[in-house]
Structure 1
Amino acid sequence: MGDEWRPEREELVLVGDSLTQGGDWEALLPGETVRNFGMAGDTTDDVIARLWDVIETRPALVALLIGTNDLAWRRSVEHIVRNIETVLVTLRKELPETRILVQSVMPRGHEFADQIRDINRHLWQFAPTVHAGWLDLWPAMALEDGELNPAFTEDRLHLNADGYRAWAGELAPALERLRELPPSSRAITLPDLGGAS
């Protein structure tokens, strides 16, 4: 059931920074064909700069997680949100049949919690406007004060093996839910008004 909706290629592309890059996704997401576009140190500006590399793969599904490195560069919440919105709008325009999943910016040290919550609130509201799914990772990854769960990290930012398992435990069912939906949008075909082809 639902196979008629699926694009020809079932490839999943993961886009992000070192958090994404560091995952052994073939092991963490068995059954998925994963292409990892995680790049250590990447900010939202960097993702925009290399977005065509992602678009050219024409994947069935894109899962995006980006933004934490911008905070280290003291970028504003507005800057980060605007850039992620630009990424999402561009993906939707260029890949109308691709399912898109926006993942909340991960918790890190609790001193960043208010900014990250603000970013995530904006992204949660924006995702439906580009027919993208939303995955809130905070319930699984954060403590009450917004600190990344110490069981999942050694440095309050990067994930250890337990952290990746916790993330994958949220990501796998989110991908399944997204795959069960009809295509996110259709390419617009104009009526043939002139009779020429």
Structure 2
Amino acid sequence: MIKLLMLGDSLVEWGNWSRHLPHVVVINRGIAGEMTEELSARLMDEIDDCPGPDAVLVQSGTNNLLMGYMFFPAIFSTMMQRLHACYPGVPLILCSLMPMPAAPSHEIEQVNRQLAEVAAATENCVFLDLVEPFFEQCLPITQPGFLADNVHLSTRGYQVWAGEIERCLQGLFPDSSRS
């Protein structure tokens, strides 16, 4: 089974990953309420605590965006380079922000463009764009992707995200066993 280190905020922390990604060993290192700069500050401790993951997924920035701090994608440039240096040869997955109703769509689009640029500039890094899958697979009334706070994910939102993670991992590890 693939060992996936997941770094991020409450969206990572509150995921029931054993249910949504049953064929992946998830090391859940999400911290609710955390800003991207706080994740960057603890990054080396996380690396020390988790030697040898097969892949690393990073999802952060939601709290920054909600607080009006639009410049956090710059933090990802050095953070992703540090991850690559510490885990050479390990695929990195940088997630986009999800199209949460609590934030203006033009701000999410702007940040996601910058995150995609960071991923493209980082060796062995994949940008996992979650916007389209959420728009396609989450219906506001019958299958909402977000809870009533318009920020945190519903069960459906986690299902969509996990499906995209699974597809990404299958692309990165086509020969891995899924049983």
**TM-score interval w.r.t. the shorter chain?**
0.7 to 0.9
Structure 1: segments with no counterpart, 5+ residues:
1-8, 182-197
The count of aligned residue pairs is 167
Matches of 1:36 and 1:111, distance apart in 2: 25
Where does residue 92 of structure 2 map in the other structure? 100
Is 1:24–2:26 an aligned residue pair? no
Matches of 2:164 and 2:26, distance apart in 1: 16
State, as a whole percentage, how many aligned pairs show the same letter.
Answer: 31
Structure 1 residue 70, shift from structure 2 partner: 0.2
Alignment TM-score, normalising by the size of structure 1: 0.78
Matches of 1:152 and 1:119, distance apart in 2: 20
Residue of structure 2 aligned with 1:174, choices 168, 172, 177: 168
Where does residue 61 of structure 2 map in the other structure? 67
Report which of the two structures shows the higher radius of gyration computed on alpha carbons: 1
Aligned-residue CA RMSD (Å): 2.0
Where does residue 165 of structure 1 map in the other structure? 159
Question: Helix, strand or coil for the counterpart of 2:94?
Answer: strand
Matches of 1:180 and 1:127, distance apart in 2: 21
Where does residue 49 of structure 1 map in the other structure? 41
Alignment TM-score, normalising by the size of structure 2: 0.85
Where does residue 136 of structure 1 map in the other structure? 129
* Matching residue's letter, 1:53: D
Matches of 1:36 and 1:88, distance apart in 2: 18
